[in-house]
């Protein structure tokens, strides 16, 4: 973007590459091309019927009007209860929970609510593509910490401490991680929490992949570690991944009261409430039988194990076993191409869509999402192997 018509702050931004690759792949498929898409992290499964039925019932029952800006009370109470029972985080007041238009919106509003122009926000790389751009949108500055493959792409407390400056306002943690699949242990989070507390750095904890953990790993919410750390943390989650509800656009934020109130104010002047009947679907999702979640995790785990064994057998690349989410970040440095160049070649010549690592702050890699069928995974990896052998 380069135009006098656009604000300087916005002209610097790049569009979301994850969404761009996915729509390019969809367009090619619509035009009849045989593309294997490992693009956006979007579950291939449909939203469970009981959730759809609750939304239809709400529509038919006339739940078609504005709701409270931060969401209907029963949904906020259900989230409050879920955070207590599943995550061990106790919020006294349901108004500390705000329901937003997708966890992407939750992240943006949380950053907007807390960061002034000039503030620094620490983001461990590889990172989800939208964080640095959101930080720039509010006039704050991303401070990128390069994590190491030998640390399973996790930020160490020493790296966090070294990144602190007088201007540090926030740190963004994302466990399980997109794009690396890294999952922080309780001990690792405790060590990071100690650093955050030492300088009162606000923690934005994006936990959208919390249910997608493998190898008996456990997801831990950093806000559950102590009251002190809870009072410095914004916990973000959503319905897109676990309930296959990407198109519904529902996420949520749980925060200390002053931040929750600020988010409510922002939302009341911008989007207002999330679509009324979609909120009733989300309520049913939380209150309903969660049995399908286990089946879904088993399905992803089966794909993950298949991909791991295939990728480990391909020469010219390196791969670390991901323990969460539904991505592989494949190190393609031996191939020697920039990630954009590599992704373009892979798509145009081999009909495989994957996201270049540059989108995640790691230009020597490419991200494969395995939220797609095993048939596509098999065919796509055959083609990827052919591509790697030719380099
Ligand atoms: N956080 C992370 C780490 C993600 O990968 C995504 C992508 N879906 C989101 C937040 C946003 O999800 P949504 O807006 O669909 O709730
Ligand atoms: N978060 C998903 C991804 O990383 C969906 C695309 C997006 O929201 O950017 O692919």
Same domain flag for 260 and 136: yes
Please give the Cα distance from 299 to 373 (Å, whole number). Answer: 10
Q: Domain ends where: 287, 302, 331?
A: 287
Q: Spell out the per-residue pLDDT of the chain, length 391, in tens.
A: 557 899 988 998 988 888 888 888 889 999 999 999 998 888 988 999 999 999 999 999 999 999 999 999 999 999 999 999 999 999 999 999 999 999 999 999 999 999 999 999 999 999 999 999 999 999 999 999 999 999 999 999 999 999 999 999 999 999 999 999 999 999 999 999 999 999 999 999 999 999 999 999 999 999 999 999 999 999 999 999 999 999 999 999 999 999 999 999 999 999 999 999 999 999 999 999 999 899 999 999 999 999 999 999 999 999 999 999 999 999 999 999 999 999 999 999 999 999 999 999 999 999 999 999 999 999 999 999 999 999 8
Question: Which atom of ligand 1 sits closest to the CA of residue 178?
Answer: 3
Same domain flag for 33 and 139: no
152: domain CATH number? 3.40.640.10
Same domain flag for 340 and 371: yes
Same domain flag for 227 and 315: no
Same domain flag for 184 and 243: yes
Same domain flag for 94 and 223: yes
Please give the Cα distance from 115 to 112 (Å, whole number). Answer: 6
Q: 174 in ligand 1 pocket by Cβ < 6 Å?
A: yes
- Classify residue 337: in a domain, yes or no: yes
**What order of strands is seen across the sheet that includes strand 365-369?**
327-331, 365-369, 355-356
Provide the angle, in degrees to the nearest 10, between the axes of the packed helices 49-60 and 276-287: 140
Q: 18 in ligand 2 pocket by Cβ < 6 Å?
A: yes
Q: Domain ends where: 238, 260, 287?
A: 287
- Classify residue 54: in a domain, yes or no: no
8 A C-beta contact, residue 4 and residue 22: no
Question: Which atom of ligand 2 sits closest to the CA of residue 246?
Answer: 5
- Classify residue 322: in a domain, yes or no: yes
Same domain flag for 231 and 243: yes
Give the phi and the psi of residue 332 in degrees, each rounded to 5: -110, 20
DSSP string, 259-324: HHHHHHHHHHHTT-SS-HHHHHHHHHHHHS--HHHHHHHHHHHHHHHHHHHHHHTSTT-B-----B
Same domain flag for 82 and 40: no
Distance from Cα 226 to the centre of ligand 2, integer Å: 31
- Classify residue 55: in a domain, yes or no: no
Q: 240 in ligand 1 pocket by Cβ < 6 Å?
A: yes
For residue 246, which ligand has an atom nearest its CA?
1
- Classify residue 58: in a domain, yes or no: no
Same domain flag for 168 and 120: yes
Same domain flag for 262 and 307: no
Mutate to test the pocket of ligand 1, among 43, 105, 178 (most ligand atoms within 8 A of CB): 178
For residue 110, which ligand has an atom nearest its CA?
1
- Classify residue 100: in a domain, yes or no: yes
Same domain flag for 168 and 309: no
Identify the domain containing residue 250 by its residue range: 65-287
Q: Domain ends where: 237, 271, 287?
A: 287
308: domain CATH number? 3.90.1150.10
Same domain flag for 277 and 297: no
8 A C-beta contact, residue 41 and residue 174: no
Total domains in the fold of the chain: 2
pTM: 0.96
């Amino acid at each position: 973007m380069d135009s006098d018509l656009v604000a300087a702050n916005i002209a610097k931004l790049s569009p979301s590459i994850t969404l761009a690759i996915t729509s390019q792949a969809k367009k090619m498929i619509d035009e009849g091309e045989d593309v294997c898409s490992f693009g956006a992290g979007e579950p291939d499964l449909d939203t469970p019927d009981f959730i759809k039925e609750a939304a239809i019932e709400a529509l038919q029952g006339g739940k078609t009007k504005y709701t409270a800006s931060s969401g209907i009370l029963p949904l906020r109470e259900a989230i409050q209860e879920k955070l207590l029972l599943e995550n061990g985080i106790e919020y006294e007041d349901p108004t500390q929970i705000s329901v937003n238009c997708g966890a992407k919106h939750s992240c943006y509003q949380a950053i907007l609510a807390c960061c002034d122009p000039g503030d620094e926000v620490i983001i461990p790389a590889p990172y989800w593509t939208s964080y640095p751009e959101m930080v720039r949108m509010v006039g704050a500055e991303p401070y990128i910490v390069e994590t190491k493959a030998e640390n399973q792409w996790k930020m160490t407390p020493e790296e966090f401490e070294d990144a602190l400056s007088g201007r540090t306002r926030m740190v963004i943690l994302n466990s399980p991680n997109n794009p690396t699949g890294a999952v922080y242990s309780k001990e690792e989070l405790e060590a990071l929490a100690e650093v955050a507390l030492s300088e009162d750095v606000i923690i934005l904890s994006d936990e959208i992949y919390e249910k997608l953990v493998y190898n008996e790993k456990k997801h831990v919410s950093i806000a559950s570690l102590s009251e002190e750390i809870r009072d410095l943390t914004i916990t973000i989650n959503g319905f897109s991944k676990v309930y296959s509800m990407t198109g519904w656009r529902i996420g949520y934020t749980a925060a200390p009261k002053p931040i929750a109130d600020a988010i409510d104010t922002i939302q009341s002047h911008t989007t207002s409430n999330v679509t009324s009947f979609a909120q009733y679907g989300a309520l049913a999702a939380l209150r309903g039988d969660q049995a399908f979640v286990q089946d879904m995790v088993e399905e992803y785990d089966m794909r993950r194990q298949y991909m791991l064994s295939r990728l480990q057998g391909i020469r010219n690349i390196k791969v670390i076993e991901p323990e969460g989410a539904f991505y592989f970040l494949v190190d393609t440095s031996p191939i020697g191409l920039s990630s954009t160049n590599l992704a373009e070649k892979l798509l145009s010549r081999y009909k495989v869509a994957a996201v270049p690592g540059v989108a995640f702050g790691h230009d020597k890699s490419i991200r494969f999402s395995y939220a797609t069928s095993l048939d596509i995974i098999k065919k796509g990896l055959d083609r990827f192997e052919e591509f790697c052998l030719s380099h």
